[in-house]
Chain A
């Protein structure tokens, strides 16, 4: 009963070390050394190195995190630190590597090099410890259409070995506004209702961190507002840390306390919007900052 210990898709550690050197940094995939922040290299790269060494309050601490599919480097030497209570907006165009990064945080995909700690645990070595504390709303979350919303949630609870989850299930259904249709088959749900149910499934296990991959996908304006409102309330009411991936800058700028900008697998910048504004000499406008980084890279 042991989750995978070796790397998949043929990108073994030896593979990883070699390519790490090519980047000017010998990042070993496993040992603690990999946790040391590495220096930024590509310009214009304001990517903040994790400021403090103590990882007590860091919910996510990634160092040199790299993912390659064959020759293609999809996530490139990512150093990232996300603090408790943050709402971290993960930005980047299609194919930037946002989902891949989240999957590595969860241990669903193995890094080719580098390491990450989620709540102090290594998702490669202790995937279950990570997964029991993390709620993950996938890009295109699936449900059992032949079960009701209530039953779908119950199954998630059982997989989390929760007991007497009836009340909890009803609570989260209320939270996302699905109490009324709890007994309805999910195959009869609309796109937005499914998205809400997805959020309910994420919250029902009482996670410490949630990863939301495009949480507003398919929601109507009202749904988007409810979702954003809900997300803003999570850190305060439930002590949650939220990592949110999205293309929709105006939405992210409404809720995120900090953002990270990812392009072709490289983290161009991370920090609060004010910090990034200071660094770039722009106004505190995410849209402007985003374009700055993308134009900068192109130049």
Chain B
């Protein structure tokens, strides 16, 4: 299996399309961090530092300075990296006749898909690690925010979460490359699934939650109604990888667990308001965040596992001939 991993890694880092999508991700990330950094810098010079204390650095990831924050960007567009890495991993080899060759060597079929999966995961991890390191460096030098130990741990956990999330997409991509013999078809299917899961599913979940727990008068929702709506929404979100990722990432990156756009609003409040707010605003510790996030993380991992098991079952049953 090591041989497969080695080969795939070399392929990924040498492949033009991976380098293109990676540079796109890097470029947009830098733009977003740059904008977030400027906004933070403004707040800091206005003397809002005590309010941002303990989370200045992470704001680089969560402040929606432009269209969206970096974490939301990763949620929406990170999957594309996984899909690009995996959508043709099996069917390309099948079509070029190398699959039957590999499988006539002493290697199990599951080693082939596992090797490809792990190589993709390593590639993703390397990409995210270098991205986060560069952003940290930018935060230090460009904005002058020094991450606290607490923030670094949270960032590492967020990195892990991102790898698990993108691992799910990788599993999905490999599954598609097993289902469809044609590379073009699996590319189309990947794009369709991406749009569905990332953009439509949240809308469906919203609609589903309203159907389960409707409001009598949407203009003036009752407290109980709000609670049951939120509960229904939370349960439905368990079926959405993107939703799980969003919830977990805000839990990890936002120690106070408030909407990150609020952080900037708070900075604009009067001093007294800020004082009052900060008195009652106990942050959630890393341990607590982790406990809250753990189930979501496990469910995300289960999604990846499911994709992998499906791939395995399908692949084992397939007949491999050359061409």
Contact = CB atoms under 8 A, between A and B. Distances in A.
Interface of A: 1-4, 8-9, 99, 103, 106, 108-109, 127-129, 131-132, 134, 136, 138-146, 155-156, 158-161, 201, 205
B198 to A, nearest CB: 31
A159 B106 CA distance: 7
Contacts of B96: 142-145
Contacts of B322: 138-142
Contacts of A139: 322-323
A201 B105 CA distance: 10
B210 interface: no
* B contacts with A: majority SS: helix
Given A138-B100, A141-B322, A158-B3, A2 B108 contact: yes
A244 B108 CA distance: 26
B185 interface: no
Contacts of B320: 108
A9 B319 contact: yes
Contact of B102 (A4, A129, A159): A159
A265 B4 CA distance: 36
A142 B320 CA distance: 13
Residue with the highest number of chain B CB atoms closer than 10 Å, among A4, A143, A156, A205? A4
Contacts of B99: 142
Interface residues of B, number: 32
Given A99-B321, A142-B98, A158-B3, A132 B103 contact: no
Given A4-B316, A138-B322, A158-B6, A143 B98 contact: yes
B288 to A, nearest CB: 39
Contacts of B93: 142
A8 B319 contact: yes
B101 A142 contact: yes
Interface of B: 2-4, 6-7, 11, 14, 93, 96-111, 316-323
Contacts of A3: 108-109, 316
Nearest to A201: B101
Contacts of A140: 97, 322-323
Contact of B101 (A103, A129, A138, A158): A138
Most A-side CB within 10 Å, residue of B3, B11, B104: B104
A266 B105 CA distance: 28
A205 B319 CA distance: 24
A131 B104 contact: yes
A155 B106 contact: no
Contacts of B105: 131-132, 156, 159-160, 205
Contacts of B321: 99, 103, 108, 138
A108 B6 CA distance: 24
Contact of A4 (B3, B100, B104, B317): B317
A107 B26 CA distance: 46
A150 to B, nearest CB: 14
Contacts of A128: 106-108
Contacts of B111: 1
A218 B4 CA distance: 30
12 contacts: A106-B104, A127-B108, A131-B104, A140-B322, A142-B98, A143-B96, A156-B101, A158-B7, A159-B105, A159-B107, A160-B105, A201-B101
A155 B108 contact: no
A2 B312 CA distance: 11
A124 to B, nearest CB: 13
B103 A155 contact: no
B251 to A, nearest CB: 36
A209 to B, nearest CB: 12
Given A2-B108, A141-B101, A155 B323 contact: no
A126 to B, nearest CB: 10
Nearest to A100: B321
Given A140-B97, A143-B98, A158-B3, A131 B106 contact: yes
B106 A138 contact: no
